[in-house]
């Protein structure tokens, strides 16, 4: 066995030990992993190799929280870790393979709202850890910490929309789901070229190459989906930052925010886990 393979096996054992250290996280982790493995086998037998790849990717993503805990010395609260695992499962297995994005209109909206909330929690913790460090010579106000967390969350949301746009235009996918609309407003339709907004209302169908698409309206190519994603990301970020602001104002009192904010692992915690 090569040194590299031994190192990978050792890392895997460490991460599994990290998962088993907390019963709640372990129960969710191993349940979801079993479902993904069964799905992987079924997709492979059916010849759906793209979905099989998504299953493998999901199994790798499941290891990220344990890796962050173990190797980066950042302690993720059990609540946050469980939500991250469920988020990955909901996005990849339910959303992509089981087509929940198409079957349920609210599915994508729900995940983007959760993303805004979780990203704000991570941004909040990054600043809060720095704010509490003895090495820093400044003390940031609760409002400033909340604003930084909000901006961090929105930045993550925007970057993800860039990923979706890239995938649609380069990889020829359809991550920015289209929306059927019935009204178009555009200056491009103005025959006078005077920047006048022209409105076409009551669109019932679209004809392409002489054939009706039967959509019941005009097909918007992703703009509404992108703006809705950013809006619900905004809502999720605002909700968490509001809780985070009052959490800091109360000098760390309250259990709700603590369930979502990662902290730096202490020596005692590392010793308890056998380090």
Distances (CA, A) of 44 to 30, 40, 51, 60: 21, 6, 8, 17
Distance of alpha carbon 112 from alpha carbon 242, whole angstroms? 18
Percent of the chain with pLDDT over 70: 92
pLDDT at 237 over 80: yes
What local confidence, expressed as pLDDT, does residue 248 receive? 87
Residue 181, classed as helix, strand or coil, is: strand
What local confidence, expressed as pLDDT, does residue 1 receive? 58
Distances (CA, A) of 248 to 153, 179, 224: 18, 41, 36
* Least confident stretch, 93-102, 172-181, 257-266: 257-266
What local confidence, expressed as pLDDT, does residue 105 receive? 87
Q: Mean pLDDT over all residues of the chain?
A: 89
**Average pLDDT score over residue span 36-49:** 96
What local confidence, expressed as pLDDT, does residue 227 receive? 96
Residues facing 185 on adjacent strands: 199
pLDDT at 192 over 50: yes
What local confidence, expressed as pLDDT, does residue 89 receive? 97
Radius of gyration (Cα) for the chain, nearest Å? 23
* N- to C-terminal Cα separation, the chain: 25
């Amino acid at each position: 066995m090569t040194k590299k393979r031994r190192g990978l096996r050792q890392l895997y054992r460490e991460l599994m030990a990290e998962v088993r250290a907390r019963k709640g996280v372990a129960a969710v982790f191993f349940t979801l992993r079993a479902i993904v493995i069964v799905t992987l086998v079924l997709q492979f037998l059916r010849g759906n190799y793209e979905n099989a790849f998504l299953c493998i990717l999901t199994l790798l993503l499941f290891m990220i929280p344990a890796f962050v805990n173990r190797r980066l010395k950042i302690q993720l609260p059990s609540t946050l870790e469980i939500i991250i695992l469920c988020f990955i499962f909901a996005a990849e297995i339910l959303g992509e393979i089981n087509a929940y994005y198409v079957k349920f209109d609210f599915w994508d909206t729900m995940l983007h709202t959760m993303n805004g909330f979780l990203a704000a929690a991570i941004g909040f913790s990054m600043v809060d850890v720095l704010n509490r460090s003895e090495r820093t010579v400044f003390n940031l106000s609760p409002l400033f910490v909340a604003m930084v967390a909000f901006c961090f969350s929105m930045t993550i949301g925007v970057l993800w929309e860039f990923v979706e746009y890239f995938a649609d235009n380069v990889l020829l996918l359809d991550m920015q789901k289209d929306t059927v609309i019935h009204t178009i407003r555009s200056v491009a339709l103005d025959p006078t070229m005077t920047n006048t907004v022209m409105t076409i209302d009551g669109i019932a169908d679209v004809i392409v190459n002489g054939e009706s698409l039967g959509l019941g309206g005009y097909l918007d190519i992703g703009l509404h989906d992108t703006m809705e994603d950013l809006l619900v990301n905004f809502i999720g970020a605002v909700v968490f930052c509001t809780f985070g602001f009052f959490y800091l104002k109360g000098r760390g009192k309250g259990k709700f925010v603590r369930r979502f904010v990662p902290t730096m692992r202490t020596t005692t915690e590392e010793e308890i886990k056998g380090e």
